[in-house]
Amino acid sequence: MLTEQNYKDGQILLIDKPLQWTSFQVVNKLRWLIRKNFGIKKIKVGHAGTLDPLATGLLIICTGKFTKRIQEFQGQIKEYTGTIMLGATTPSYDLETEIDQTFSIDHISEKIIHEATSHFIGEIEQYPPVFSALKKDGKRLYEYAREGEVVEINSRKITINEFEITNIKLPEVDFRVVCSKGTYIRSLAHDFGKALNSGAHLTVLRRTKIGAFAVEDATTVQYFEDQLRPKIETT
């Protein structure tokens, strides 16, 4: 069992983020559990890369002195799996918002889907979603979007190392992507729809790897809590 000093000296915790939780909620929950368990007032806890609330999968959580390594982990290559729904778009590029436009998919074949992935391999320009936590003039983009205010968003260079179609059951397409820091899979889904002369949005997303770390080695928030719960309940 880890000690208070272990957490202060620094730990890397691999957590499988639950659906609907924000990354900050996971951090806050783990911080509270560690503080409660050891009766300490302060402990540094941070995550190395946000996941959207509608995504699940690997979060790297750093404690104590290891929070200084967060940038190191953030810069590593990431792997995602998920599902793209063809034939419709949403303003957020995922299920956070309602469908705003529908498109025909009658012209789309499995061959066309596989061929379209080649347009996204390598270094490409990508526009982040308007519903994102990126800041412009000190304000988050999603705040502008929710107020109906249109703002100019600059593209950014990202790298897609692999873009594999793993299953096709139209209108749904399952995929696996290996990509650089700063890649928005929601934007990739949206742009993929355009490449198919249709529309698309992301319906499922799971982060499976960050560098050498894999979600198979992660624990759930509940498991982490259960490990500490006996001591918490007796204090």
- Which residues are catalytically annotated? 52
Q: What distance in Å separates the CA atoms of residue 174 and residue 180, rounded to the nearest whole number?
A: 20
CA distance 45 to 63: 4
The residue behind tokens 């946000």 is 50
CA distance 182 to 7: 29
Instruction: Count CA atoms closer than 13 A to 77's CA, side-chain side.
Output: 10
Rounded Cα–Cα distance for residues 180 and 98 (Å): 29
Kindly state the tokens that stand for 1.
């069992």
DSSP state string for 81-142 = EEEEEETEE-TTSSTTS---EE---TT--HHHHHHHGGGGSEEEEEPPPSSSS-EETTEEHH
SS3 227: helix
- Peptide bond before residue 171 is cis, with ω within 30 degrees of 0: yes
